[in-house]
């Protein structure tokens, strides 16, 4: 079972390192042929407007959309969550997403004063111990549609993690804090999808 990490831009190396530590074989995905080989895909943090442009330039956007529709397990962090959102608020002119998650996300939603911060989150889906979460110019999930489920929220109640069938998304970056449980949870999804 090979797990892909979209490697157009952003912190794809950090995700690869976490996935390898959990025993997964990792393939960096930059081309449709590489996407075709993987049983799951992580879309890293970075800059969603750049990732959007590069995915269209490299001819990956349509294969990615088809894979998402076809049930490929995909986990997006931060910019990756934006890529998976059906609706993007405050995108740059012409910004598109791949979609799949029935949510509306607002980019850079925490404002410039608190553009980056850390906090502990309760995420019962991955275990009892709180998850230490780092937010870097992070989006917020402003609307969770009926098809999606909120998994975590910050103290004021705003949603920062969601799940919908084969898709998982977090506003924060578990790949840089030594937190492996969310990737582990994702790998369970990949394994389960592979059994179907
Ligand atoms: N603000 C970035 C964007 O809009 C996301 C930041 C991140 O991935 N850490 O894509």
The alpha carbon of 195 and the centre of ligand 1 are apart by a number of angstroms equal to 33
Q: How many residues does the chain have?
A: 196
Residue numbers annotated as active site: 78, 173, 175
Residue 112 has pLDDT above 90, yes or no: no
The alpha carbon of 79 and the centre of ligand 1 are apart by a number of angstroms equal to 4
Strands (E), 78-148: 85-89, 101-106, 116-121, 131-136, 140-144
Confidence of residue 151 (pLDDT cuts 50, 70, 90): very high
Interatomic CA distance for residues 155 and 161, integer angstroms:
13
Q: Cβ of 115: how many Cβ atoms within 10 Å?
A: 12
- Residues lining ligand 1, Cβ inside 6 A: 45-48, 78-79, 82, 107-108, 136-137
Interatomic CA distance for residues 26 and 39, integer angstroms:
10
Please give the residue range of the domain that contains residue 112. Answer: 2-193
The residue whose CB lies within 8 Å of the most ligand 1 atoms, and thus the one to mutate among 138, 171, 175, 176, is 138
Interatomic CA distance for residues 139 and 41, integer angstroms:
20
Q: Please compute the mean of the pLDDT values over residues 151-164 and round it to a whole number.
A: 96
Tens of pLDDT, residues 43-96: 999 999 999 999 999 999 999 999 999 999 999 999 999 999 999 999 999 999
* CA nearest ligand 1 atom 2, residue: 47
Q: CATH number of the domain that 75 lies in?
A: 3.40.50.880
The model's pTM is 0.96
The residue whose CB lies within 8 Å of the most ligand 1 atoms, and thus the one to mutate among 139, 160, 170, is 139
> What is the total count of domains within the chain?
1
């Amino acid at each position: 079972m090979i797990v892909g990490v979209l490697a157009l831009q952003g912190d794809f190396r950090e995700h690869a390192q976490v996935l390898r530590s959990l025993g997964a074989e990792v393939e960096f995905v930059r081309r449709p042929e590489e996407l075709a080989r993987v049983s799951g895909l992580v879309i890293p943090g970075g800059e969603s407007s750049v990732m959007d442009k590069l995915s269209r330039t490299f001819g990956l956007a349509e294969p990615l959309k088809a894979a998402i529709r076809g049930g490929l397990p995909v986990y997006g962090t931060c910019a990756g969550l934006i890529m998976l959102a059906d609706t993007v608020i405050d995108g740059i002119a012409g910004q598109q997403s791949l979609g799949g998650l029935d949510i509306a996300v607002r980019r850079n939603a925490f404002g410039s004063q608190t553009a980056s911060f850390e906090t502990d989150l309760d995420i019962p889906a991955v275990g009892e111990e709180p998850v230490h979460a780092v937010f870097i110019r992070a989006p917020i999930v402003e609307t969770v549609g009926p098809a999606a489920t909120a998994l975590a929220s910050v103290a004021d109640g705003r949603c920062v993690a969601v799940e919908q069938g084969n898709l998982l998304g977090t506003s924060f970056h578990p790949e840089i804090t030594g937190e492996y449980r969310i990737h582990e949870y994702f790998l369970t999804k990949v394994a389960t999808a592979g059994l179907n």
